[in-house]
Structure 1
Amino acid sequence: MQEENQPKNNSENHSEETITKVTGMYKDWFLDYASYVILERAVPAIVDGLKPVQRRIMQSMKDLDDGRYNKVANLVGHTMQYHPHGDASIADAMVQLGQKELLIDMQGNWGNILTGDSAAASRYIEARLSKFALEVVFNPKTTVWQSSYDGRRKEPINLPVKFPLLLAQGAEGIAVGLSTKILPHNFNELIDASIKHLKGKSFKLIPDFLTGGIADVTNYNDGKRGGKVRIRAKITQLDKNTLVINEVPYGTTTSSLIDSILKANDKGKIKIKKIEDNTAAEVEILVHLPNGVSPDKTIDALYAFTYCEQSISPLCCVIEDNKPIFVGVSEVLRKSTDHTVALLKQELEIELGELEEQWHFASLERIFIENRIYRDIEEEETWEGVITAIDKGLKPHIKHLKRAVTENDIIRLTEIRIKKISKFDIDKAKQYIESLEDKIAQVKHYLANLIEFAIDYFKNLKDKYGKGKERKTEIRIFEDIVATKVAMKNAKLYVNRKEGFFGTSLRKDEFVTDCSDIDDIIVFLEDGRMIVSKIDSKTFVGKNIIHIAVFKKKDKRTIYNMIYRDGKAGSTFMKRFAVTSITRDKEYDLTAGNKNSKVLYFSANPNGEAEVVMVYLRAIGSIKKLKFEIDFADLAIKGRGSKGNTVTKHAVKKIELKEKGISTLKPRKIWFDDTVQRLNVENRGELLGEFTAEDRLLIITQSGTIKTIIPDLSTHFEEDMIVLEKWIPNKPISAIHYDGEKERYYVKRFMIDNPNKEEVFISDHPKSQLEIVATDYRPIAEVVFSKRSLENEIVNFEEFIAIKGIKATGNQLTTEKIKQVNLLDPLPYEDPEVNSVDVIDEDDVSSKNNDDDEGQITLF
């Protein structure tokens, strides 16, 4: 606390600081408040997985449980006897608990976690405990009680939950100085993990969300601090102009998702025509695209710029022994499972004690009636005499009992009614005692084999309640989406080459290309300098720009060919290089570094093309040959910092392009990673082959569609894709299909006539289906019929039918029902020889700044 004191001397103004210590009740208030919020409001207990308000809600529902639904308003009011807070907070907590679909059986409008719609008022909705909650959560015999906040009632310190409830439901809370965020996990997987723990086996837990979606849990880190889970909406392509979102990421709703898509569209990050929200019981959001917009690129853009992808940082903080601790979800499951075993043991011990007490009194009752000891009390006139007489009568018969007879036991015997004594059946009494002995033996067996008993308990839970609780969230490994590669071209790039300006506002100057407002721009200047800068409305980089383009990071296929003069009158050099990585806004000198150097020829080649140029020299002195050719294909690709090879020591008049070149880069190897359903060039998955700029991929789906595409690493593939390979134009496609209209099986062979068009090669009848497709030159198939009396048939496609058009139905195979078709080894076929050419491996293209000079080769 600071105070300002008035100066003693009016001519001298100054301030003094004084410190006032906080004492009395203020001293501990903050610590008390922080402890209260942590322990009593925000963080769940590890023992039962519930926060105090949730525990009190559950206890109130148990108090009022009669098998029928109760108004939530009534339940909330009853909970206020335990919970010292308002009804609104209790009602909200109850709705959240119910929406997790585990402990509460709901009736009425409880809201929608998919759309974000709120629940109806508590007076309109009803609830009761689920059968699962009644079996797993409550047992008054094993519950430890404490006084409620006003001392009028008893409430449980913790509920005896015999299940990893905390991990099944998840939890989130913000306290003072700490927070918790525990993600929900799959019901059945938690039970399987508990069983594995009891068997001493290792297990791994990964989250599962009621909203479904796709999750990458590579960095989950067992739910500890520092982990991360990436969650995506499930997006599929309905047709070339429509995308469908069927599942939303955890933590989002259809409303917030649509809002984020509209905002991204307004900012120009993506281009959409309109959105339709058809969500009811299940999510269905239709995203309509304008003509000419790539669905694949839009899917990636949705993940990059909207709530279609979310990143969640879990933090598992729980209360144990009345203090917060940070643990992993595996440790939470181990502790929960061990606690369940302890509770099961406690229940068995209680049951054993009750059974032994029943056996003890049943035995005493039998002795008392069978030996007519009740007659010994007829002459007794006092109560003490009655007790003594019965005790004396029992002594000869109680040696087999497991404990001594107490006065309370004798008093209970005196309470037996005459009617029961008169109808006493010795045989039934023996049978009852024997049944008790069997039960006691069984309970003792369970206690002796407690782990096996616990395993059976968990298995029983899974059998009774596990149906309908299968995993909803698909687990995949996500590829990283580079925002600049998927952003829609929402800006136009202009350049003033002479003055050295570029940007989006120079509309009176030269148009360069459409681009995104998050792109980097690479610029080459006549003096040999290069710079990469973020796109802006107007940026100055230097006068006399000779080349400008959108910069692609890690691009090894774009090769720059350059000839420059070293200094004002030095030799001329040539070089080939790629620019794969840079520091933004840093100037790079691509010449030898001498003042007044000048670029005489420059070209940017997206596929490593190497052209032929004509060099013209000035007629100075005794030069005999004033022009000569240079082929860039003869020059190796080096680093951008290399000096280059000497072209000539004489003065160059001009350089002209003589002949355009072909690519000197080796065809690119492309792999398909089935885990992420994406193409890649990093050796992940199955190698599809080597692809030049003209090569295409063949894609066939189970629904009978076929198409070829130019390989693009951002391509999304349909879930029913059955063929993905390099397309060979002269290779026929063979298929056996069922025609639903004609109710017959047909064989067809065809070629793809239009590689740019997606076509369906089976009929559009609802019952039509593709049995098998083969892409071998000479395939053989075995047909197995449903009738056992019919022998399998071998089909040689080449002999069965000639190659026809894609729309042809084909030749009839059979009208009999086919059980299955198996592809056999194809007949041998020799591929035609292909002439090879010398090319440069793309991996050999250096991306480093190499300032060392190359070998100096003087051409002229």
Structure 2
Amino acid sequence: MEEENNALEPENQDNDKVTVTHVSGMYEDYFLDYASYVILERAVPALDDGLKPVQRRIMHAMREMEDGRYHKVANVIGQTMRFHPHGDASIGDALVALGQKDLMIDTQGNWGNILTGDRAAAPRYIESRLTKFALEVGFSPKVTEWQASYDGRAKEPVHLPVKFPLLLAQGVEGIAVGLSTRLLPHNFNELIDASIKILRGRSFTLLPDFPTGGIADFSQYNEGVRGSRVRVRAKISMEDKKTLVITQVPFGTTTTSLIDSVIKANDKGKIKIKKIEDNTAENVEILVHLVPGVSPDKMIDALYAFTDCEVSIAPLSCVIYDDKPLFVGVKEILKRSTDRTLDLLRQELEIQLRELEEQWHFASLERIFIEEKIYRDIEEAETWEEVIGNIREGLTPHIKHLIREVTDDDITRLTEIRIKRISKFDKDKADQHILDLEGRIEAVKHNLANLVDFAVEYFKNIKKKYGEGRERKTEIKLFEDIDATKVAIANTKLYVNREEGFIGTSLKKDEFVTDCSDIDDIIVFLKNGKMMVTKVDQKTYIGKNIIHVAVWKKGDKRTVYNMIYRDGAKGASYMKRFNVTSITRDKEYDLSQGKPATEVLYFTANPNGEAEQVTVFLRNLQGLRKLKIEIDFAELAIKGRVSKGNRVTKYPVKKIELSEEGVSTLAARKIWFDDSVQRLNADERGELLGSFKGQDQILEVTQTGHYRLLGFDLSTHFEEDMIIIEKFNPKKPLTAIYFDGEKERFYVKRFIPEASAKKELFISESDGSYLEAVFSDWYPRVELVFKKIKGKQKENEEIVLSDFISVKGMKAQGNQLTRDEVKDILRLEPLPLVQEAEKEEEAGEDSSEDQESSIDNSGQPTLF
């Protein structure tokens, strides 16, 4: 062991001393260097030109290759590899992404599809070239700052001189080390309009516009800074009652991913569909086929709530400026881009001015050189210095008007003029050329002096040339929040074991309560006066002796609970009316005063605030004369669940019996009818029937010639052949035209429907009788088309049915419509109420009383 230990000691030990070499400093800056490289050179775009390094190098390589023709993408990738050191795959992916944005790259071949998510073909099969737009706004070598490529063999631009807010037009995403960016794309024309407003010093609004279209809520966009949100929805419409069609998908999704999300939601029972078809070609077309009994409007909301038909995007505006990450909003980015465009235009004008002035300078020298025959002064010269001197001496008297001194280089250029050009010199052409140059110089100077106006015209020209067909695709809209519990399909069944105190979806041997969804909340009331709200689960223990179980909706003020309870074992009895609008889930609430042995004696849950009448029977105690107490819950105010309630009696209660069904005591409730599923709702789906309260009823008329008066409970079922459904007005008559099978004639009758919940027949009972038309208008009109008899055709006849017959009883036969044979009865627009009043005035009727009337709550007509 001793030898072994000695073997493990360092070889360089000397007198038990060990030399330690510290290596931590070697790695001290490695991570920071790597992170900085990824941020600056790979993931985050530069503010100056809106491009990542790989995109900039692709553009530069394509500019070098530019000859007006398409190039194989494989060749473009190879050319770009001279500047980009990260391999062909990254270049190819970046090039395809640029091409799919349809702005800087003109593509040919299969470049994939942003709508379906299909990938592009291999680089050897597809071709590309720079667009005319890219060539015009993206390159200007004379104002470009250059740097050496990574291997020093070539030069590449530090930034491209892009004179357009390219970063905001294309959008960008990137993930670096400890940093990411996500700038959303904006509309081409709107960016130009906003840039012009910046130049003019005006305020502007800038919102994203997605290439996939869709509908977006930008209320929380906040210029795309950290913490902002954008909600984007697919565009969904109803093709028919059984089919929905999706024509645009949210940004960031594809038809494939969206369909997968719909199928997944259907498998989980969140929604219920028959099938889904993808007919997408050039445009998106996804057909969602619904199962019978599902409301299309409700299904649209469900698709937004449970699938990728609605997505939430979190923008993060981060760019590189001055070699550092900069977090600024899109407005600031556009302002800086516009300022840079203004500066680039100024630089280009200054360069153009210098070039024009140089042209003018040499053209003037050339004219002097030839007109004054100074070229003859060099015939005797023997040396080059003597040639230069003779020419300079000959020019001196004539160059006072020049804008700069004459240099030896200028004189050298004069000596290079050919004899043929001197012999064909045309003074007039030379003068005109100089005048043209002077005009161009003045124009450039004017543009420099009015640089903002020049920049505005530049942007307008860009919009005129390239803005056609780039209109906004994304619709801007404020979204209403969708309550998932309201649109979730009832995909499970709820059961209860009242005695043992369990509720759940797995208790299939116990009492069935209701259909529900797996995200619903369930409210439970116990015999001891306790209450709890809990999530649907397979099996949940609440407490023994359950008296009421139902699906609970947050904020429900219309469901009112009527309760009578005994306070403690021998205490007084109290009655209360309350609703439950907000709770803490899985917390037990006491609806009584909390005394032991409290017991609920009577309980009802009323979905529309109904208030019934009950009779309380007391025990027959000695000296107690009144053994019955009549209670009308309508006289009791609706309070909170913690209220004590009003005392009913201090004596023991024997039993409580319902004496009369209640009616709603709440304010009128708006009710809609959804024709696609033939059901009522309070969720604004379908046709608004009106505001209902108390004893209000719904009138239903069917094609068989029957009518019914029904309540407005949302569970009400209607006949499949229903032709009229509306809020019943007991003063407005129905007008019916029917064919009497026995007498073989058409009859007209007007009557007020009598109160009846059962079907009432209002046409003849004889065989062959049928309902031709029925009207609920005040003054209906029809046009009779007669049959042609013996070659003679009777003219059509127009009839105002309210004039034709007065209102009679429901059992009345009515008046015969016509003795002639009728070919057709055409329904016309009803007579406007104002016209009816005028007609009565023309007839000399005393209608002053009617003219002062109006359609009040009873639905009487206004005649004025």
TM > 0.5 between the two?
yes
Cα distance, 1:126 vs. partner?
0.2
Residue aligning to 2:652: 651
Taking the TM superposition and a 5 Å limit, the aligned residue runs for 1:664-679 are: 664-668=665-669
Counterparts in 2 of 1:277 and 1:554: CA distance versus 1, 3 Å = same
Residue aligning to 1:497: 498
1:466 correspondence with 2:449: no
Contact conserved, 1:376 with 1:390, CA < 8 A, in 2? yes
Counterparts in 2 of 1:727 and 1:651: CA distance versus 1, 3 Å = closer
**For residues 129-170 of structure 1, what are the alpha-carbon distances to aligned partners after superposition, in whole Å with 9 as ceiling and x for unaligned?**
001000000010110000000000000000000000000000
Residue aligning to 1:192: 193
Taking the TM superposition and a 5 Å limit, the aligned residue runs for 1:698-713 are: none
Cα distance, 1:695 vs. partner?
7.8
Contact conserved, 2:671 with 2:689, CA < 8 A, in 1? yes
Cα distance in 1 for partners of 2:221, 2:59 equals 31
1:177 correspondence with 2:175: no
Higher relative contact order (CA 8 A, sep 6+): 1
Residue aligning to 1:143: 144
Amino acid at match of 1:270: I
Cα distance in 2 for partners of 1:512, 1:92 equals 57
Cα distance, 1:24 vs. partner?
4.0
Residue aligning to 1:529: 530
Cα distance, 1:235 vs. partner?
0.7
**For residues 507-545 of structure 1, what are the alpha-carbon distances to aligned partners after superposition, in whole Å with 9 as ceiling and x for unaligned?**
000000000111110000001000001111111110000
**For residues 561-595 of structure 1, what are the alpha-carbon distances to aligned partners after superposition, in whole Å with 9 as ceiling and x for unaligned?**
00011111111100000100000011111012211
Contact conserved, 2:729 with 2:858, CA < 8 A, in 1? no
Counterparts in 2 of 1:123 and 1:835: CA distance versus 1, 3 Å = closer
Cα distance, 1:624 vs. partner?
1.1
Cα distance in 1 for partners of 2:699, 2:77 equals 62
Contact conserved, 1:224 with 1:315, CA < 8 A, in 2? yes
Cα distance, 1:810 vs. partner?
5.0
1:129 correspondence with 2:130: yes
Unaligned ranges ≥5, structure 2: 9-19, 673-679, 701-710, 715-725, 735-749, 754-775, 781-797, 806-816, 838-850, 860-864
Residue aligning to 1:240: 241
Cα distance, 1:834 vs. partner?
3.8
Counterparts in 2 of 1:397 and 1:827: CA distance versus 1, 3 Å = farther
Residue aligning to 1:85: 86
Cα distance in 1 for partners of 2:254, 2:600 equals 56
Residue aligning to 1:842: none
Secondary structure of 1:347's aligned partner = helix
Contact conserved, 2:149 with 2:156, CA < 8 A, in 1? yes
Counterparts in 2 of 1:726 and 1:629: CA distance versus 1, 3 Å = closer
Residue aligning to 2:70: 69
Amino acid at match of 2:564: I
Contact conserved, 2:779 with 2:801, CA < 8 A, in 1? no
Counterparts in 2 of 1:243 and 1:158: CA distance versus 1, 3 Å = same
Residue aligning to 1:599: 600
Counterparts in 2 of 1:414 and 1:48: CA distance versus 1, 3 Å = same
Contact conserved, 1:801 with 1:810, CA < 8 A, in 2? no
Cα distance in 1 for partners of 2:154, 2:692 equals 77
Counterparts in 2 of 1:273 and 1:697: CA distance versus 1, 3 Å = farther
Residue aligning to 2:808: none
Amino acid at match of 2:49: D
**For residues 546-575 of structure 1, what are the alpha-carbon distances to aligned partners after superposition, in whole Å with 9 as ceiling and x for unaligned?**
000001100000000000111111111000
Residue aligning to 2:160: 159
Cα distance in 2 for partners of 1:436, 1:680 equals 78
Cα distance in 2 for partners of 1:51, 1:579 equals 57
Taking the TM superposition and a 5 Å limit, the aligned residue runs for 1:411-560 are: 411-560=412-561
Taking the TM superposition and a 5 Å limit, the aligned residue runs for 1:252-651 are: 252-651=253-652
Counterparts in 2 of 1:343 and 1:682: CA distance versus 1, 3 Å = farther
Cα distance, 1:692 vs. partner?
4.3
Counterparts in 2 of 1:648 and 1:245: CA distance versus 1, 3 Å = same
Counterparts in 2 of 1:272 and 1:446: CA distance versus 1, 3 Å = same
Cα distance in 2 for partners of 1:75, 1:493 equals 64
Cα distance, 1:826 vs. partner?
7.7
Cα distance, 1:691 vs. partner?
4.4
Counterparts in 2 of 1:300 and 1:811: CA distance versus 1, 3 Å = closer
Counterparts in 2 of 1:266 and 1:682: CA distance versus 1, 3 Å = closer
Counterparts in 2 of 1:584 and 1:20: CA distance versus 1, 3 Å = farther
1:203 correspondence with 2:209: no
Unaligned ranges ≥5, structure 1: 9-18, 672-678, 699-708, 713-724, 734-749, 754-774, 780-795, 814-822, 837-860
Cα distance, 1:248 vs. partner?
0.4
Residue aligning to 2:677: none
Cα distance in 2 for partners of 1:481, 1:80 equals 50
Cα distance in 2 for partners of 1:260, 1:445 equals 60
Cα distance, 1:732 vs. partner?
12
Cα distance in 1 for partners of 2:712, 2:75 equals 64
Residue aligning to 2:789: none
Cα distance in 2 for partners of 1:629, 1:812 equals 53
Contact conserved, 2:692 with 2:712, CA < 8 A, in 1? no
Cα distance in 2 for partners of 1:824, 1:455 equals 58
Contact conserved, 1:778 with 1:826, CA < 8 A, in 2? no
Taking the TM superposition and a 5 Å limit, the aligned residue runs for 1:8-47 are: 23-47=24-48
Contact conserved, 1:111 with 1:118, CA < 8 A, in 2? yes
Amino acid at match of 1:393: G
Contact conserved, 2:231 with 2:313, CA < 8 A, in 1? yes
Cα distance, 1:23 vs. partner?
2.7
Residue aligning to 2:719: none
Counterparts in 2 of 1:777 and 1:156: CA distance versus 1, 3 Å = farther
Cα distance in 1 for partners of 2:238, 2:275 equals 15
Taking the TM superposition and a 5 Å limit, the aligned residue runs for 1:820-831 are: 830-831=853-854
Contact conserved, 2:58 with 2:95, CA < 8 A, in 1? yes
Cα distance in 2 for partners of 1:266, 1:669 equals 34
Runs of 4+ in 1 over 2 A off after TM superposition: 19-25, 668-671, 679-683, 687-698, 709-712, 725-733, 775-779, 796-805, 807-813, 823-836
Number of equivalenced pairs: 728
Cα distance in 1 for partners of 2:713, 2:385 equals 101
Residue aligning to 2:52: 51
Amino acid at match of 1:401: L
Cα distance in 2 for partners of 1:730, 1:64 equals 85
Cα distance, 1:680 vs. partner?
13
Cα distance in 2 for partners of 1:243, 1:134 equals 44
Amino acid at match of 1:81: R
Larger Rg: 2
Contact conserved, 1:76 with 1:87, CA < 8 A, in 2? yes
Residue aligning to 1:817: none
Amino acid at match of 1:414: T
Cα distance in 1 for partners of 2:511, 2:95 equals 64
| Alignment TM-score, normalising by the size of structure 1 | 0.80
Secondary structure of 1:166's aligned partner = helix
Secondary structure of 1:610's aligned partner = strand
Secondary structure of 1:592's aligned partner = coil
Cα distance in 1 for partners of 2:80, 2:646 equals 86
1:661 correspondence with 2:666: no
Contact conserved, 1:776 with 1:826, CA < 8 A, in 2? no
Cα distance in 1 for partners of 2:103, 2:804 equals 61
Amino acid at match of 1:180: T
| Alignment TM-score, normalising by the size of structure 2 | 0.79
User: For the aligned residues, what is the CA RMSD?
Assistant: 3.6
Cα distance in 2 for partners of 1:682, 1:647 equals 38
Cα distance, 1:809 vs. partner?
4.8
Cα distance, 1:25 vs. partner?
3.2
Secondary structure of 1:265's aligned partner = helix
Name whichever of 619-628 and 633-642 sits farther off: 619-628
**For residues 86-108 of structure 1, what are the alpha-carbon distances to aligned partners after superposition, in whole Å with 9 as ceiling and x for unaligned?**
10110000000110110000000
Secondary structure of 1:45's aligned partner = coil
Cα distance in 1 for partners of 2:513, 2:129 equals 67
